[in-house]
Structure 1
Amino acid sequence: MYTALSKSRFSNSPAKPPVGSFENCAKCEKQFTVTKYTIAANPGPGFLCHPCAKSSGADPFKKPAVPKKRRAPADKRTVTNFEERRFPSLSSLCIQLISEHIDDVEALGDLSSISMDEISKSISKNRSLTGQTAQLFYGAHNTTLTLYDATKLIPSALDTLAQLNPNLTSLRLDFCGRMNDAVMDAWSTSLPALTYVELLGPFLVRPPGWLKFFSSHPKLEAFLITQSPRFDLACLKSLLENCKALSVLRLKELGLLNDQFLTALGTIKKGRLTSLDLSEPSQSCTEAAMIKAMKAVGGNLTKLDLSGHSLLGDTFLEKGLKPLRHLEDLALNNLPELTDAGVAKLFNGWENAALTCIDLSRNYGLGSNALTGILEHSGDALQRLNLNGWGDFDADAIHAFGKELVFLDLGWCRSVDDFLIKDILKCCGKLREVKVWGCNRVTDRCPRKRGVTIYGVESHSTTT
């Protein structure tokens, strides 16, 4: 019969003596009474009295660490989205099939009856768009081309795009970070009919590439770029000098944007611009320069986005925006200088027609007065409204929401609760989407309505 050897056989110290007995300390050799806190000497043999144990760096009275209790899954916060489930249509199933077999797309035959735009969106979700698969969307008959993820299109693939689509008048490329001056040179000759260009992330294009492109496209009517750190003042001047038909301009998240850009915009013929987006600059333009720019180019603006210009305040609203008469879409998010009274004053008595889209998100000082002014001025025509991050506002103002409202963002508005959501669903017959992220007074018991998707309902459940 096998019997395991005692651990004390292999240790330098004998088994711990009984509690209450006397022992001599292995270090100071003084006699002490053994307790349950007595610890063995290291190195042994023997045991230590309490003073010697503490002096050696060990705490004999320290309680063992209690293992941290993990929260049960039911205790964690859950986020619920109330979304209507529908059976997929036949066309959506076909698009999904094509997306899964995009590398063998030639074997699928004729795809003319299926929306190319939907296929482009689908394959862009998993970044399956390459130089080879992108040719599915090419053709000499194309006048419009939109690719939602050009991450894998290298410069030679972008050259091929231009050669196989020579008649394009409208081109949109998202995430086109590999585009460079060589590509712009090729486009300058291969895409002579372009009138609309929208690019997201052309980081590598330098001023010479932009200058050549603008000089070769005098008929350009819309130029929209986002995140182009090398686009400078000379590029803007070249754009304005060569493209006299320009009516839509976006210079979003532009690192070099400053007051000099606004001065250059003043050279545009009055009334030509209908859409202007100068949002999210690295540094805000000054209020005086922006007011002057609005006087120069704002006469016929229908869409304006100046989000992120943190120096703009109530003076800009009064002198820069109030003279405008044709705005339909206004975005002024993240402007900390705006006040509740200032925004209310803008909309009260504003001769501009009712707006259809308003984005005043991340303006924490806005509240009831601003909301009342907005709804009294534009409530009947509003289709999209973003109040994300506002302060407290009076729930009674919600009843002024018009029947045309389709999209509403109330995220991080602490006064929003289940009853407010109920009133909104009741008075807005065309509503399709509501966002309530961060509204912890909205529970999973909030009302629902067929055809309306509610995102971000937070609920806390506990186990018993």
Structure 2
Amino acid sequence: MSRRANAVRGPTSALTEFLRESGITPTTIARRVRTREVQQPEAGPSTAVESNDTDQQEGNSNRAQDDPEEYASDHLDESDEEPAPKKRKLSKAAEAKLKAKEKAKAKAKAKKGGDDDDYEDDEDEDAYTALSKMWKDNTKPPVGSFCDCAKCKKQFTVTKYTTAANPPPGFLCHPCAKSSGPDPFKKPVAPRKRRTATEKRKVVNFEERRFPSLASMCISIISSHIDNIEALGDISSMNMDELSKSLAHNRSLTSQNSPLLYNAEHTNLILYDATNLPPPALCTLALLNPNLTTLRLDFCGRMDDEVMNAWTKSLPNLRRLELLGPFLVRVQAWQTFFESHPALDGFLITQSPRFDLDCMKSLVNNCPNLTELRLKEIGKIDDSFIEVLKTLGNGQGGCQLRYLDLSSPGIPDALTQSVLIELMSIIGSQLTHLDLSGNQLISDGFLLEGIKPHAKNLTCLKLSNVPELTDNGVAEFFKTWAGDSLPSTKAKGRKTAISSFQAAISDVNPPLSHIDFARNPELSSAALTALLEHSGQKLTQLSINQWRNTSEESLKSIAKYCPKLNKLDIGWCREADDWVVKEIMEKCPKIEEVKVFGCQRLTQQCPRKRNVNIYGVESH
């Protein structure tokens, strides 16, 4: 189907108008070609051909005069009728090739539509299209050549990133190309891969290892043969605890293999990771261990009121309960449990947002013989809890509390210093372990007015992340805790002075074995020296993390004062170097663990020792 049959006429373009005004049309071009052929005839008999050409030329000339519309753009697509040349006889191979080509063309036409194909064929043979290509010159100059910018007219060097001007002609320099649109030098950014809803909901319980350890292989075998576990015989309590730790390490403790750790004769049970135990499995725990007196569950976030009610009935002998993350237990379940266990002497919970003041009152009223209490990271704790806790000292035998942990309250300033000092005056005489870390209202006054006069039996003191403590205040506390008159360590013979110092304070305040004053950046050398002089001989664990201004000399004195030290944290102490670590390795024979995170003066030559773990050496 041709354009004449479609009767489709396009608008007159600027190029068509320019050619028409210049007298250039396909007809005039064809006439010039024929004129050249007539002027230069080929040899041989050509009378008939010349006659025909002359007649056709005259006919075309007459038609151009008779038809004034001949030069319009609508007729530019029409080709002049010329005598068809004689068809040459094709060979069989050529005919077969031509037929195959026509068949392929017919199939394509059937898919796309015949009108479009005919239109495209006409366009391919259009003299106007062919002529317009002659006038189009937008070839990119070679790379490295000079060119004038089509926009700013400045000369620039052509590169492979040079872009053509829009509208043409010409090319743009880099500043103009960048201001006109996207930066041509910018590399395409890979599209961000979006996670599907299934991937977002997927919970990874453990990390699979390509080469499993021997412990994991043993656990896997035992788990798969849980029904025949009696074949292993009796398992000692020590091996049972190690097996529990291995199961927790891989988070592979489930309701199917947890009966491995149960026994009706057990009085002590520790599960280090109960993440995968649903409420029915925790209820079964109480049924299979009815004689438990001590129970510890870490990561028990799935336990709820149903579990607590089951424990209330099935664990009548329970005296010590330690839980990490009992988020879902409500007030009524706590109160029912306390009422049914008046002999409870140890209650240690961490992260229980629903434990409120009513639960605290029920605990103190029903369990007056508490010796251990931990309310760590409790969101609702405030001074009203302390007022209830004071009533523990009103009993006939006085307060028996020896372990107290009120660290990291939900609101850092929830507990005021004056209330804590008053609490120490009532229950501090029997305390051996005190942890008030994260209470940011505590200052030097609490040490001098609360601990110094009332807590004379402490062996463990933790006051980390308490920014109000000062270097001089802590130093004064340790120096005066033993009494007003102390022998000077500057006397002749350093060992003699230290021994006499320890002997003088042993009758008043025993040395501490565990001290944690980490994340208190105001503390420095004076506090460390006084601390070591007071408790160095009995100290087994020491954490002075982030005491950044502590001198190298005072850090080296740790090795001199602490012969029983086995765990040390001096992270972010800027003056710690290889010599400090060397002193500790050589003079602390019981050392097992040293943390040196952030100590940038340590090098690859940092001393090492067999059976001693050093964590945080950057060069390692």
Pick the TM interval, shorter chain. 0.7 to 0.9
Where does residue 400 of structure 2 map in the other structure? 272
Matches within 5 A, 1:348-367: 348-351=479-482, 352-367=509-524
Partners in 2 of 1:279 and 1:386 — Cα distance? 16
Matched, 1:47 2:170: yes
Where does residue 406 of structure 1 map in the other structure? 566
Work out which structure has the larger RCO, using CA pairs closer than 8 Å and 6 or more positions apart in sequence.
Answer: 1
Partners in 1 of 2:141 and 2:269 — Cα distance? 83
Distance 1:340 1:34, change over 3 A: closer
Matches within 5 A, 1:238-387: 238-269=362-393, 270-283=398-411, 284=413, 285-323=415-453, 324-351=455-482, 352-387=509-544
From 221, 227, 247, the equivalent of 1:123 is 247
Question: Deviation at 1:23?
Answer: 6.8
Where does residue 173 of structure 1 map in the other structure? 297
Where does residue 51 of structure 2 map in the other structure? none
Distance 1:286 1:46, change over 3 A: same
Deviations 1:283-324 (A, max 9, x none): 231111111111111110000000000110001111111121
Partners in 2 of 1:394 and 1:224 — Cα distance? 38
Partners in 2 of 1:329 and 1:24 — Cα distance? 79
Distance 1:413 1:47, change over 3 A: same
SS at match of 2:542: strand
Partners in 2 of 1:49 and 1:195 — Cα distance? 85
Distance 1:257 1:22, change over 3 A: closer
The one-letter amino acid paired with 2:315 is L
Partners in 2 of 1:32 and 1:258 — Cα distance? 74
Distance 1:18 1:149, change over 3 A: closer
Deviations 1:257-300 (A, max 9, x none): 11111111100024310000001111231111111111111110
Where does residue 36 of structure 2 map in the other structure? none
Partners in 2 of 1:12 and 1:416 — Cα distance? 74
Partners in 2 of 1:32 and 1:371 — Cα distance? 71
Partners in 2 of 1:213 and 1:161 — Cα distance? 16
Question: Deviation at 1:453?
Answer: 1.5
From 6, 10, 15, the equivalent of 2:140 is 15
Where does residue 138 of structure 1 map in the other structure? 262
Where does residue 619 of structure 2 map in the other structure? 459
Structure 2 unaligned residues grouped into runs of 5+: 1-132, 188-212, 483-508
Contact 2:518 2:546 in 1 (8 A): yes
Partners in 2 of 1:57 and 1:99 — Cα distance? 66
The one-letter amino acid paired with 1:199 is L
The one-letter amino acid paired with 1:122 is S
Matched, 1:422 2:582: yes
Contact 2:431 2:457 in 1 (8 A): yes
Partners in 1 of 2:146 and 2:535 — Cα distance? 89
Where does residue 56 of structure 2 map in the other structure? none
The one-letter amino acid paired with 1:112 is D
Contact 1:252 1:280 in 2 (8 A): yes
Contact 2:462 2:517 in 1 (8 A): yes
The one-letter amino acid paired with 1:339 is T
The one-letter amino acid paired with 1:101 is I
Question: Deviation at 1:44?
Answer: 5.9
Partners in 2 of 1:132 and 1:51 — Cα distance? 69
Contact 1:95 1:118 in 2 (8 A): no
Partners in 1 of 2:375 and 2:525 — Cα distance? 33
SS at match of 1:408: strand
Partners in 2 of 1:287 and 1:379 — Cα distance? 28
Deviations 1:394-447 (A, max 9, x none): 333333332100000111111100111111112211111111011111112111
Question: Deviation at 1:17?
Answer: 6.0
Question: Deviation at 1:48?
Answer: 3.4
Partners in 1 of 2:465 and 2:249 — Cα distance? 29
Which is higher, the Rg of structure 1 or of structure 2?
2
Matched, 1:99 2:223: no
Where does residue 13 of structure 2 map in the other structure? none
Partners in 2 of 1:51 and 1:442 — Cα distance? 50
TM-score, structure 2 as length reference = 0.64
SS at match of 1:416: coil
Where does residue 434 of structure 1 map in the other structure? 594
Partners in 2 of 1:327 and 1:34 — Cα distance? 81
Partners in 2 of 1:377 and 1:23 — Cα distance? 84
Where does residue 86 of structure 1 map in the other structure? none
Contact 1:176 1:200 in 2 (8 A): yes
Contact 2:164 2:172 in 1 (8 A): no
SS at match of 1:457: coil
Partners in 1 of 2:302 and 2:218 — Cα distance? 26
Residue identity over aligned pairs, in percent, reads 47
How much is the aligned-residue C-alpha RMSD, in angstroms?
2.8
SS at match of 1:263: helix
Matched, 1:188 2:312: yes
Higher mean Cα deviation, 112-121 or 102-111? 102-111
TM-score, structure 1 as length reference = 0.84
Partners in 2 of 1:18 and 1:213 — Cα distance? 85
Contact 1:20 1:33 in 2 (8 A): no
Where does residue 445 of structure 1 map in the other structure? 605
- Structure number with higher helix proportion: 2
Distance 1:32 1:120, change over 3 A: closer
Structure 1 unaligned residues grouped into runs of 5+: 1-7, 66-92
Partners in 1 of 2:149 and 2:615 — Cα distance? 71
Higher mean Cα deviation, 33-42 or 162-171? 33-42
SS at match of 1:392: coil
Question: Deviation at 1:40?
Answer: 3.8
Question: Deviation at 1:94?
Answer: 7.5
Where does residue 81 of structure 1 map in the other structure? none
Partners in 2 of 1:380 and 1:411 — Cα distance? 22
The one-letter amino acid paired with 2:180 is G
Higher mean Cα deviation, 40-49 or 419-428? 40-49
SS at match of 2:260: helix
Question: Deviation at 1:53?
Answer: 3.1
Contact 1:411 1:436 in 2 (8 A): yes
The one-letter amino acid paired with 2:541 is R
Question: Deviation at 1:111?
Answer: 4.8
- Count, aligned residues: 422
Distance 1:57 1:121, change over 3 A: same
Matched, 1:152 2:276: yes
Deviations 1:37-85 (A, max 9, x none): 694424464313659935952699x9778xxxxxxxxxxxxxxxxxxxx
Distance 1:265 1:23, change over 3 A: closer
